Amino acid sequence: MRIGIIGAGLCGLATAAFLARDGHAVEILERAPHPRPLGAGLLLQPPGTDILARLNTVPEGARITRLDSRATSGAPLIQLDYADLAPGLHGTGLTRPAIWSTLLDAATSAGARLLPACPIASVTEDATAILPSGEQRPYDLLVIAAGTHTPFWSGRPSHAARPYPWGCLWATVTLPRDWPRDMLMQRCRGTATMLGVLPTGGDTAALYWSIRNDRVPAWRAAPIAAWRDDIARTWQEAESLTANLTHADLEHATYRDVRAHPPFAGRLVVIGDAAHGTSPQLGQGTTQALRDALALAEALAADAPLEVRLAAYWSARRRRVGYYRLASRALTPVFQSGIPGLGPLRDLLAGPVGRLPFVRRQALLTLAGMKDGLFGADALPAPPR
């Protein structure tokens, strides 16, 4: 087929790589004249690493073996070791440039054509992309992979997109010599303040600071020293990571709870964050986007009418997508909200409840991206020899 993909983000590039490798004529329509990765560092879960391996592209990053989330008092909130699921299992901390560049190489090497400076004004269900000039680009299938803010699925009965009040400020920082390179570490003060440090390879890490989106202008207007004082109150050891940061070094990221059910109509299909965006609390965005890319390619390889193939794609993804949307919506207020009293209650219960064997296992399967619905999960990998 002749396939157009709107968006040269991680999901769009991975989809282009799989589909071009399968022999489809793929064009990636990207509005930016000079495409580049946007966003903070990310935690890739084991299934995501396996999918990248199918494309013969595994970027270098940090081997993350543990999640260590605590209250400012030091009391444990979430303590999870990947190895408790399977020996050698781990996540990977990555910078977006590292994974984006490898996926771009995979897509173009497979034969996909990247069209920069190609903004799309609208789309039609017969898979036509219409440019602002009025030029029409017809395809056999049009894949919308343009992120949570894409307008191309808005207004449909199957679509909902609710902005989260909280976002985050993020920056790339240099780790001191004695900082752990194999843990995603978080410190939480109530439900309104969370500071996270994710190693991304070498001496670099992504630093995250939760903030209400409507308070970002006031934060930028205040002296940076006031923020550093807030860092010290939340996590004394992390204060040194911010010593050289200025307001300009910190980017603001926002998030939406996105639902597209079903995510296809006619010869259009929407995937990735554009179809099921969540908050970053579970660290699943990139892994689930890669699952979308592979599942779509597998569904399109069948010998059946396109509508049947798109329905098969959604059938393969529906339960997993639904579970992670539900889990994200349930977990987010516990770490990013202004609900009175919820923070102390969380600090009191999270540690003891998290040590219950059933709860701990389900939390590990969720973190590792292996849940396939409320009651199902992927088979665990065999121990390494």
Q: If you ran DSSP here, which 8-state letter would residue 83 be given?
A: G
Q: What is the CATH number of the domain that holds 122?
A: 3.50.50.60
Mean pLDDT, residues 275-279 taken together: 93
The CA-CA-CA angle for residues 46, 378, 317, to 5°, reads: 90
Asked if residue 72 lies in contact with residue 240, where contact means CB atoms within 8 angstroms, the answer is no
In a domain, 221, yes or no: no
pLDDT of residue 132: 96
In a domain, 135, yes or no: yes
pLDDT of residue 158: 81
pLDDT of residue 281: 86
In the chain the first and final C-alpha atoms are separated, in Å, by 42
User: Exposed (0-12), middle (13-18) or buried (19+): which is 252, by Cβ within 10 Å?
Assistant: middle
Q: How far apart are CA 300 and CA 166, in angstroms?
A: 37
Model confidence band, residue 308 (pLDDT cutoffs 50, 70, 90) = very high
pTM above 0.75, yes or no: yes
Write down the mean pLDDT value for the chain. Answer: 94
Model confidence band, residue 47 (pLDDT cutoffs 50, 70, 90) = very high
Selection from 105, 93, 24, 39 nearest residue 62 by Cα:
93
- Look at residue 384 and tell me whether its pLDDT is greater than 60: no
In a domain, 176, yes or no: no
In a domain, 381, yes or no: no
The residue to which tokens 């990053």 are assigned:
61
pLDDT of residue 7: 97
- The predicted-structure confidence for 312-324, as pLDDT tens digits, reads as follows 999 999 999 999 9
- Look at residue 185 and tell me whether its pLDDT is greater than 60: yes
The range of the structural domain enclosing residue 131 comes to: 2-62+96-163+256-338
- Look at residue 296 and tell me whether its pLDDT is greater than 90: yes
Which token pair is 224?
Answer: 């940076």
3-state secondary structure 73-105: CCCEEEEEEHHHCCCCCCEEEECHHHHHHHHHH
In a domain, 244, yes or no: no
Model confidence band, residue 103 (pLDDT cutoffs 50, 70, 90) = very high
- Look at residue 123 and tell me whether its pLDDT is greater than 90: yes
Model confidence band, residue 172 (pLDDT cutoffs 50, 70, 90) = very high
How many C-beta neighbours within 10 Å does residue 174 have? 12
Q: How far apart are CA 287 and CA 49, in angstroms?
A: 8
Mean pLDDT, residues 182-188 taken together: 97
The CA-CA-CA angle for residues 23, 24, 27, to 5°, reads: 135
The CA-CA-CA angle for residues 206, 114, 19, to 5°, reads: 90
- The predicted-structure confidence for 369-378, as pLDDT tens digits, reads as follows 999 999 899 9
Number of domains in the chain: 1
- The predicted-structure confidence for 20-41, as pLDDT tens digits, reads as follows 999 999 999 999 999 988 888 9
Selection from 218, 220, 212 nearest residue 193 by Cα:
212
- Out of 80-84, 137-141, 145-149, 279-283, least confident range: 279-283
pLDDT of residue 382: 66
In a domain, 348, yes or no: no
- Look at residue 139 and tell me whether its pLDDT is greater than 60: yes
Q: Which residues does residue 92 pair with via DSSP β-bridges, in sequence order? A: 44, 63
Asked if residue 96 lies in contact with residue 6, where contact means CB atoms within 8 angstroms, the answer is no
In a domain, 374, yes or no: no
Rounded to the nearest angstrom, the gap between the alpha carbon of residue 119 and the centroid of all alpha carbons in its chain is 23
Q: How far apart are CA 115 and CA 31, in angstroms?
A: 8
pLDDT of residue 157: 83
pLDDT of residue 64: 97
Selection from 72, 41, 13, 15 nearest residue 346 by Cα:
72
pLDDT of residue 383: 60
Percentage of residues of the chain with pLDDT beyond 70: 99
Q: How far apart are CA 31 and CA 1, in angstroms?
A: 23
How many C-beta neighbours within 10 Å does residue 197 have? 24
pLDDT of residue 137: 97
**Radius of gyration of the chain from its Cα atoms, rounded to whole angstroms:** 21
Which token pair is 212?
Answer: 């209400």
For residues 27 and 338, which has the higher predicted lDDT (pLDDT)? 27
- Look at residue 118 and tell me whether its pLDDT is greater than 60: yes
